[in-house]
């Protein structure tokens, strides 16, 4: 039997500790690839207090240093773009980050006898891959999850000039939704033939219907971030209308972000402090409980790359409500697996929530169909098998 294929995974997001959200789907895929004779070696940024080399769940992880503990703040905080583009010093700091990433990748490629490279997100991994493609000639896979495609759209001409040679070298470019696939094909027509739709894999051992947890008929849940893209302000305005027509309805928000003070103020402005509760992000195992308690899970985002909070909730049997925007339309088929509403339409969102809160039979029917769809579409085993095939095919083509 041939030796396992040695795959270098580049990412700026990877779990740092048990329960960490950072790049959990990348870690899940890495674990699953080992079942298909793919040996993943992960390269991710270091963070304060972490070892520079460790093994978790059988996956070897290198963490590259790029500054002192206090200054290693580019990754894991969701503020990379602001830090880099916000000042000249931020750009110099990012250059050090990239230089350290490249150097570590080249060392690992040699020491670990790497046969193929897989990068996650065009920025920063694609920047590093551009150099590695020239220096190593190894086959390349790229995966995009949303934020990097918004950058391509914003700087289309610049990205084409800079990344054009990388796009030509890619064997496959996976995206998590048809929205992202179509957006890349529009912006980078030459890359269209290399695009492959591969949804985010879900951990079936974490997200499932748990019959020991009581579902609360009046509870609406949103697992989100308090940013402009997530449109939590419209959700609050909608929920204020919901409470006028369904006086026992409750809303729980799980997340954090820069707009948290504004959202807290809006809750107070509408007199919703007894009806709306904000919780800090919780580990995935606790999210399963949150989703299993919820009658409805809602994500009110604009141009969402995927919509993970909805598909996870569906795996747990909650009824899903989302906007007719971005990748959410892959997850929800309106009237079949959940309900869709128009973006930034608080009145329509309120109507849908009230209808579902008042009609338990309709809500249950949608939730059951959504659960079946999520199980068949997002289970990690089949998705990992598809990705393993891409890895094997890319290595085989590279050897011709």
Per-residue model confidence as pLDDT tens digits over 275-326: 999 999 998 889 999 999 999 999 999 999 999 999 999 999 999 999 999 9
Confidence of residue 19 (pLDDT cuts 50, 70, 90): confident
- Given this model, what pLDDT does residue 78 score? 78
What's the rounded mean pLDDT across residues 4-25?
93
What's the rounded mean pLDDT across residues 130-152?
90
Cα(307)–Cα(302) distance, rounded to whole angstroms? 10
- Given this model, what pLDDT does residue 162 score? 83
Is residue 133's pLDDT more than 80?
A: yes
- Among positive and negative, which fits the CA dihedral 351, 356, 361, 365? positive
What's the rounded mean pLDDT across residues 85-90?
82
* pLDDT tens digit sequence for 35-62: 999 999 999 999 999 999 999 999 999 9
Cα(65)–Cα(80) distance, rounded to whole angstroms? 16
Burial 25-53 (b: 16+ CB within 10 A, else e): bbbbbbbbbbebebbbbbbbbbbeebeee
Looking at residue 164, the DSSP 8-state letter turns out to be H
What's the rounded mean pLDDT across residues 173-182?
95
Q: Where is 93: in which H helix or E strand?
A: helix 88-111
Contact 61, 28 (CB under 8 A): no
Cα(299)–Cα(223) distance, rounded to whole angstroms? 7
Cα(30)–Cα(226) distance, rounded to whole angstroms? 29
Q: Describe the crossing of helices 360-378 and 346-358 by its angle, rounded to 10 degrees.
A: 100
CA dihedral 81, 85, 87, 91 (to 10 degrees): 90
Q: What share of the chain is helix, strand, coil (3-state, %, to 5)?
A: 50, 20, 30
- Given this model, what pLDDT does residue 80 score? 83
- Given this model, what pLDDT does residue 256 score? 92
| Domains identified in the chain and CATH numbers | 5-201+379-398 (3.40.50.2000), 216-378 (3.40.50.2000)
* pLDDT tens digit sequence for 316-372: 999 999 999 999 999 999 999 999 999 999 999 999 999 999 999 999 999 999 999
Average pLDDT, the chain: 94
Cα(5)–Cα(393) distance, rounded to whole angstroms? 11
pTM: 0.93
Is residue 400's pLDDT more than 70?
A: no
- Given this model, what pLDDT does residue 1 score? 65
Q: Which residue has the higher pLDDT, 109 or 88?
A: 109
* pLDDT tens digit sequence for 216-247: 999 999 999 999 999 999 999 999 999 999 99
CA dihedral 196, 173, 144, 81 (to 10 degrees): -160
């Amino acid at each position: 039997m041939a030796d396992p294929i040695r795959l270098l995974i580049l990412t700026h997001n990877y779990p740092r500790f048990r329960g960490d959200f950072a790049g959990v789907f990348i870690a899940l895929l890495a674990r699953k690839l080992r079942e298909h004779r793919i040996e993943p070696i992960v390269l991710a940024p270091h963070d304060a207090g972490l070892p520079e080399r460790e093994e978790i769940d059988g996956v070897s992880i290198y963490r590259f240093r790029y500054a002192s503990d206090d200054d290693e703040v580019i990754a894991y905080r969701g503020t990379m773009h602001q830090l880099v583009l916000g000042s000249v010093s931020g750009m110099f700091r990012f250059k050090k980050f990239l230089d350290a990433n490249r150097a570590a990748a080249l060392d690992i490629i040699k020491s670990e006898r790497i046969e193929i490279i897989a990068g996650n997100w065009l920025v920063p991994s694609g920047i590093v891959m551009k150099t590695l493609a020239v220096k190593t000639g190894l086959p390349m896979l790229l995966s995009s999850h949303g934020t990097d495609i918004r950058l391509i759209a914003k700087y289309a001409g610049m990205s084409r000039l800079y990344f054009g040679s990388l796009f030509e070298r890619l064997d496959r470019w996976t995206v998590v939704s048809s929205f992202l696939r179509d957006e890349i094909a529009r912006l980078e027509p030459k890359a269209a033939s290399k695009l492959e739709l591969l949804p985010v894999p879900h951990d079936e051992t974490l997200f499932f219907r748990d019959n020991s947890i009581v579902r609360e008929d009046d509870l609406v849940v949103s697992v989100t971030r308090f940013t402009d893209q997530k449109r939590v302000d419209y959700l609050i305005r909608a929920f204020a209308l919901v409470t006028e027509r369904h006086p026992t309805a409750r809303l729980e928000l799980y997340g954090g972000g820069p707009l948290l003070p504004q959202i807290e103020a809006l809750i107070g402005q509408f007199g919703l402090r007894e009806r709306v509760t904000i919780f800090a992000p919780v580990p995935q195992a606790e999210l399963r409980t949150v989703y299993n308690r919820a009658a409805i899970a809602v994500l009110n985002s604009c141009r969402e790359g995927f919509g993970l909070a909805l598909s996870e909730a569906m795996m747990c049997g909650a009824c899903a409500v989302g906007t007719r925007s971005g990748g959410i339309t892959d997850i929800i088929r309106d009237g079949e697996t959940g309900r869709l509403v128009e973006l930034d339409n608080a009145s329509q969102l309120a109507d849908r929530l009230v209808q579902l809160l008042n009609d338990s039979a309709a809500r249950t029917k949608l939730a059951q169909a959504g659960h079946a769809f999520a199980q068949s579409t997002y289970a990690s085993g089949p998705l990992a098998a598809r990705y393993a095939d891409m890895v094997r095919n890319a290595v085989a083509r590279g050897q011709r």
